[in-house]
Chain A
Amino acid sequence: MSTISSAPNLTPTPTITERAHLEAVDVCAWFGSTLVLDGVNLTAELGTVTSLIGPSGCGKSTFLRILNRMHESIPGAQMAGEVRLDGVDIYGAGERVTSVRKKIGMVFQKPNPFPAMSIADNVTSGLALTRTKTSRAEREELVETSLTRAGLWREVKDRLDQPSSALSGGQQQRLCIARALCVQPEVLLMDEPCSALDPTSTRRVEETILELRDQVTIIIVTHNMQQARRVSQRAAFFLAEQGAPGGIVEQGVTEQLFTSPVDERTANYVNGEFG
């Protein structure tokens, strides 16, 4: 897992590096008038998995939702800073929120397939939502490739017409991953994708993440530190101290963050002393 050649960069300067794919610069977030996230800088490089770890309520999920403009769908939510995809600010005046979300997909904590649709329809629902015209053959091929990429094809290939509710929780989550992959996003955001799953399904989803690594940039929020070590090459540790907004305490190569953290609080957290 040592594909990362660059040295651990603990305090990245907000510049566009060549390898930067998705880059958050000085991101702040508010709910109402409460500042919940202050000055977060993060760079996700092409073809890597970045994990965001930290105790509950430190703003990881909020940060993740800012990365594909889901944050603004909550009433009273505000943000500041920039999020650049290939150097272009996704919050810029000319950017359409729907096309941003199409390029930056998301998988949620709880599996949320569309219950009224069949398995196949769920996979292609992103195309229907964006009214992308496709032929039947194209669609069938997309269903197969997306489900294969999400590691679900073999399990469901004989029952694509069944409702998605017939699947187990882990399968539903992988269906949601397939659904997100079907619109060919450049980045995939995952918000604690395994927290509602049993260990077997969790392992299956983790394998899926590892297989996807070369094809799409992944940012994953997780509570499970072992999972962060298993799937990610880079990691960022979020913390919100009493009464203060959350932010990144330390970030860098995952192994390094876990074995020789620089900050004392990171050390305490990864050694299980709190959180």
Chain B
Amino acid sequence: MTTTTPRPTPTPRRVRQYTADDWWSLATSVVASLALVTLVYEHVLDLSGTLGFLVCWFATFLLLYAAVLSFANERHVVTDRVVAAALYAAAAVVVGALSSTVIYTFAKGWPALSHVNFYVQDMSGVSPTAPLSQGGILHAIIGTVIEVALATVIAIPLGIATAVYLSEVGGALSRVVRTVIEAMTALPEILAGLFVYVVLIVYVGLPKSGLAVSVAMAVTMVPIIARAGEVALRVVPSGLREASQALGATQWMTVRKVVLPSARSGLATATILAVARGVGETAIVLITSGASSFINWNPAQNPMNSLPLFIYTGYQTHENLAITRAFGAASVLLAMVLVLFVLTRWLSRERSGR
């Protein structure tokens, strides 16, 4: 339009997917089903319990909602709306389960978490039934950090070199390697633990120690890094590789100066994913390390405790205080995982932002 008079700045219009009628149908169905179930639930159906009530309410709601909608709508619209309601409920159930896990862990651990000594002392000389003002989980935190760090140091070079091999070098062997690695990402962790236990501890004669844990952890971490890393490397546009080689760079220099830096954040995400999995690895620490009660800085000797192991042994005592400590340790573990999780989010956001 070539109008000369300045038009007023247009403002977007609110476009609705749901009509006012839809909202009324929803509201009346919610209220009516609540009323109906409240009346009938305990008296007529003779049922009890909050959970059962919610389930019955929701089922009644769906029926009423479908009935109300079908007065004014075609069948496919009714189906769509009822499915939408069911999907909202399913999402709410899953999110509820997840948040109940997180909240419950922190709530149960709070009595332990509120003591400073919980973070700065170990359990040496402290009985599991001692009050929470004594002892702490410093030994388990240190153990977890050392074990995971060591495992990461082993797994990163192997994992990334394998990723480079799969994506940049290739060859006849690469298909086999890829297939095996793909299968191994889903390897039950207990089997990695059992493997390392038998080879390193029973045959080689290493003591149950942090080192054994780290090796087993690395076995589970390498496939994760290699696979996610390969994906990150493949995303690097091949034009970049060709540009570098057209400048006369060797393949090694191309990989080092062009491919790896371009895939940096993807590789970092892959590593952190593997670390996050390693931190919570319970089956492995259960098998390959003993639960010490004192701080052990040496991964090669003596048992080394870790958070998952501390949680499990605490749970096994069936003592209230030990279980509270276990929940405290679980909260710390969960916090570590949350930090790693936020880190991956942040890294991948940076990547997608570019």
Contact = CB atoms under 8 A, between A and B. Distances in A.
A99 B17 CA distance: 12
B354 interface: no
Nearest to A69: B15
A113 B79 CA distance: 24
A91 B15 contact: yes
Interface stretch (A46-54, A73-81, A137-145, A187-195): A73-81
A145 to B, nearest CB: 23
A39 B10 contact: yes
A247 interface: yes
Contact of B17 (A11, A78, A97, A131): A97
Contact of A91 (B10, B13, B20): B13
Interface string A85-107: 00000010111111100000000
B76 A131 contact: yes
Interface string A241-254: 00000011100000
Interface in A36-91: 38-41, 69, 72, 78-81, 91
A90 B113 CA distance: 59
A263 interface: yes
Contacts of A81: 10, 13
Contacts of B16: 93
Interface residues of A, number: 30
A116 interface: no
B13 A93 contact: no
A96 B77 contact: yes
Contacts of A69: 15
B118 to A, nearest CB: 46
B75 A38 contact: no
B313 to A, nearest CB: 50
A130 interface: yes
Contact of A38 (B10, B11, B19): B10
Contact of B1 (A91, A95, A248): A248
A78 B76 contact: no
Contact of A35 (B1, B10, B17, B74): B10
B7 interface: yes
B19 A131 contact: no
Contact of A78 (B3, B13, B75, B77): B13
B179 interface: no
* B interface, size bucket: 20 to 34
Contact of B15 (A41, A79, A96, A129): A79
Contacts of B50: none
Interface in B273-313: none
B66 to A, nearest CB: 14
B21 interface: yes
B2 interface: yes
B19 A247 contact: no
B10 A129 contact: no
A68 to B, nearest CB: 13
A58 B74 CA distance: 38
B1 A39 contact: yes
Interface in A259-275: 263
Contacts of A130: 74, 76
A30 interface: yes
Contacts of B10: 26, 28, 35, 38-39, 80-81
A59 to B, nearest CB: 12
Nearest to A91: B15
B12 interface: yes
Contacts of B76: 98, 129-131
Contacts of B11: 80
Given A78-B15, A80-B10, A94-B21, A131 B74 contact: yes
Contacts of A95: 19
Given A94-B21, A96-B77, A263 B2 contact: yes
A96 B19 contact: yes
A98 B1 contact: no
A93 B19 contact: yes
Interface string B3-47: 100010011110111011100000000000000000000000000
Given A35-B10, A130-B76, A131-B74, A93 B20 contact: yes
A26 B10 CA distance: 9
A1 B47 CA distance: 75
A91 B11 CA distance: 15
Contact of A80 (B13, B19, B79): B13
Nearest to B13: A80
A30 B13 CA distance: 10
A11 B21 CA distance: 38
13 contacts: A38-B10, A79-B12, A79-B13, A80-B13, A81-B13, A93-B16, A93-B20, A94-B19, A96-B19, A96-B77, A99-B74, A131-B76, A131-B79
Interface of A: 11, 26, 28, 30, 35, 38-41, 69, 72, 78-81, 91, 93-99, 129-131, 247-249, 263
Given A69-B15, A79-B15, 9 more contacts: A26-B10, A28-B10, A39-B1, A80-B10, A80-B11, A93-B16, A98-B77, A131-B76, A249-B1
